[in-house]
A and B are shown apart, each in its own frame.
Chain A
Amino acid sequence: MPPPTNAVPPIAVAGLRKSFGRQTVLDGITFELASGQVTCVLGRSGTGKSVLLKLLIGLETPDAGSIRLAGHDISSGSLRQLNDARKKVGFLFQQAALYDSMTIAENVAFPIRRHTTLSDAERNDRVHQLLESVGMDRDLDKMPSEISGGMRKRVGLARALALEPAILMFDEPTAGLDPITAAEIATLIVELRDRRHITSIVVTHDLHSARSIADRLIVLDRGKALFDGTFENLNRNKDPFIGTFLKDAA
């Protein structure tokens, strides 16, 4: 699929600041994501990577700065604007966050039921297709507690894709998974970029996965974006923190 010629960046962040009490977590973060690219956000634990994702989807409110998501200004707009933007975004949480009172099929059907007018048969077909695309179409009636962590992530990804989003956000998609499952999730992210031209932002500690999926890397340290560029440029970077980070993460 050729990349759409859309001048509006899927995500644009300017001067983003966020503090919890006296602790400044993000301090003046600015970036724009290009359409159809996978961007990985790296950094040590507690550097605000997950907070950044929650700000981007409107689960946290910034202290200062602006966020434009899918063309909507979500930092100063209304809840309706925020929800309009959210419908264009899929979010995969670190522990998948499946609704534990619903079956796997109901989990994936939930956003479709809420935001589309598909008939029951069309919705069931769509759920089946989505679960098939992540290799989970044989466990439709299982409850989330009956499947493994890797399977939950796959179902979470199917649910994130339910509304055919233009943007995907991943919070530690490979954390806690065995190397084979982690590689499969990484492959799915790359396939989504290549086949559907989905823009992805991935928060991860996993340098190995980041190397295989990222078109662009942003390294956070002490609330600031210490590096923003490609993997090749990261390897050439002389910053002592980045040198240590690459060495320890390898």
Chain B
Amino acid sequence: MATPAIPRAAIEDLRALGKPLEDVLEWVGDLGLFTWRVAKAMVSRPFEGAEFLRQLDAIGAKSLPLAALAGAATGVVLSLQTRDSLMRFGAKSLLPAVIVFSLVKETGPIITGLIVSGRVGAGIGAELGSMRVTEQIDAMEASAVDPHKYLVATRVVACIVAMPLLTIAADFFGILMGWVASTLAEPVSLRLFLSNGFHGVTFNDLLPPTLKTSIFGLIIGVVSCFQGMRTRGGTEGVGRSATSSVVLSSLFIIVADVLLVQLILEFF
């Protein structure tokens, strides 16, 4: 008995349904290959010291005011909101500790990660995307220079190094402005605020949450460079790369944060 033929329209519909999944799998595969290539470029000579320092300045030093401002604003808001809540429960004396723990363990790292992914992710996506569509990356390859090493590895390592430093800055300004907001409501010396705030804080409360932002840096660097390097379609494509760099790196930072918090709680 002959097998009934599957209608052509049904096959086309199935193909259309499978296309987005195929695209996602292709994207993930390409990202994996790209990451492997960049990892190899990072550890092979010659090291691009001068370009790395230039990127560290562009990614780290130039993000410092934004990270500091975000940290400061978070500190003020935490102080104002938490003070009100703690007063209801008669635990106002815990305010410094709540601000310090909240900033150091979670708010500082995640705020810094998202702020930097916005500023740096868009910048890298647009810059590399623009270089791709104007054939500057082709020109680099044609002159026997590996763009994965010169352009990508330097940016990724700069993101990895800069993130913990920016997080420390955000934490510092957050705690400082938390104290300012607190002391405006009810005067308290900085020494006493810090003494109460850091009472009971251990090395494990400080170090893992700060160092986890290196993973955020890795995500921002790799995703933004990947989106920039695969740009197609002229200036419109550059815009798409800049946007997708920010959206994807922010999304992956949030997901990674959930996993990293679980790991930190498990091991530290």
Say whether A54 faces chain B, with CB atoms less than 8 Å apart.
Answer: yes
Within 8 A of B (CB), among A43-59: 54, 57-59
Bound complex: CA A84 to CA B144 (Å):
7
Bound complex: CA A97 to CA B132 (Å):
10
Say whether A89 faces chain B, with CB atoms less than 8 Å apart.
Answer: yes
Taking a contact as CB atoms under 8 Å apart, the answer to whether B141 and A59 are in contact is yes
Say whether B25 faces chain A, with CB atoms less than 8 Å apart.
Answer: no
B19 vs chain A, min Cβ distance (A): 14
Say whether B21 faces chain A, with CB atoms less than 8 Å apart.
Answer: no
Taking a contact as CB atoms under 8 Å apart, the answer to whether B143 and A99 are in contact is no
Within 8 A of B (CB), among A80-108: 83-84, 86-87, 89, 91, 93-95, 97-100
Taking a contact as CB atoms under 8 Å apart, the answer to whether B144 and A115 are in contact is yes
Taking a contact as CB atoms under 8 Å apart, the answer to whether B139 and A93 are in contact is yes
Chain B 117-158: CB-based contact to A (< 8 A → 1; otherwise 0):
000000000000011001110111111111000000000000
Within 8 A of B (CB), among A110-154: 110-111, 114-115
Bound complex: CA A86 to CA B144 (Å):
6
Interface footprint category on B: 10 to 19
Taking a contact as CB atoms under 8 Å apart, the answer to whether B134 and A100 are in contact is yes
Taking a contact as CB atoms under 8 Å apart, the answer to whether A95 and B135 are in contact is yes
Taking a contact as CB atoms under 8 Å apart, the answer to whether B145 and A97 are in contact is no
Residue of B nearest to A107 (CB): B139
Bound complex: CA A30 to CA B139 (Å):
25
Interface footprint category on A: 20 to 34
Most buried by B among A54, A97, A99, A163: A97
Taking a contact as CB atoms closer than 8 A, the residue among B130, B138, B146 that contacts A93 in the complex is B138
A83 and B142 in contact, given A93-B135, A97-B135, A99-B136 (Cβ under 8 angstroms): no
**Which residues of the other chain, B, contact A97 by a CB distance below 8 angstroms?**
134-136, 138-139
Bound complex: CA A97 to CA B134 (Å):
6
**Which residues of the other chain, A, contact B139 by a CB distance below 8 angstroms?**
91, 93, 97-99
**Which residues of the other chain, B, contact A111 by a CB distance below 8 angstroms?**
143-145
Bound complex: CA A247 to CA B143 (Å):
38
Bound complex: CA A93 to CA B130 (Å):
15
B137 vs chain A, min Cβ distance (A): 9
A114 and B134 in contact, given A97-B139, A99-B139 (Cβ under 8 angstroms): no
Taking a contact as CB atoms under 8 Å apart, the answer to whether B142 and A100 are in contact is no
Chain B 184-195: CB-based contact to A (< 8 A → 1; otherwise 0):
000000000000
Taking a contact as CB atoms under 8 Å apart, the answer to whether A110 and B143 are in contact is yes
**Which residues of the other chain, A, contact B141 by a CB distance below 8 angstroms?**
58-59, 86
Taking a contact as CB atoms under 8 Å apart, the answer to whether B144 and A87 are in contact is yes
Bound complex: CA A146 to CA B138 (Å):
22
A156 vs chain B, min Cβ distance (A): 8
**Which residues of the other chain, A, contact B134 by a CB distance below 8 angstroms?**
95, 97, 100
Within 8 A of A (CB), among B93-138: 130-131, 134-136, 138
B50 vs chain A, min Cβ distance (A): 9
Taking a contact as CB atoms under 8 Å apart, the answer to whether A91 and B142 are in contact is yes
Most buried by A among B131, B143, B145: B143
Taking a contact as CB atoms under 8 Å apart, the answer to whether B143 and A114 are in contact is yes
A116 vs chain B, min Cβ distance (A): 12
The chain B residues found within 8 Å of chain A, CB to CB, are: 130-131, 134-136, 138-146
Given known contacts A99-B131, A110-B143, what 8 new A-B pairs fall within 8 Å (CB)? A87-B144, A91-B142, A93-B135, A93-B139, A95-B135, A98-B136, A100-B130, A110-B145
A-B interface, 8 closest residue pairs, ranked by CB to CB distance from nearest: A97-B139, A83-B144, A97-B135, A86-B144, A91-B142, A111-B143, A93-B135, A87-B144
Ordered by A's residue number, 27 sampled pairs between the chains whose C-beta atoms are within 8 Å are A54-B138, A57-B142, A59-B142, A83-B144, A84-B144, A86-B141, A86-B142, A86-B144, A87-B143, A91-B139, A91-B143, A93-B135, A93-B139, A95-B134, A97-B134, A97-B139, A99-B131, A99-B139, A99-B140, A100-B131, A100-B134, A100-B136, A110-B145, A114-B144, A114-B145, A115-B143, A163-B143
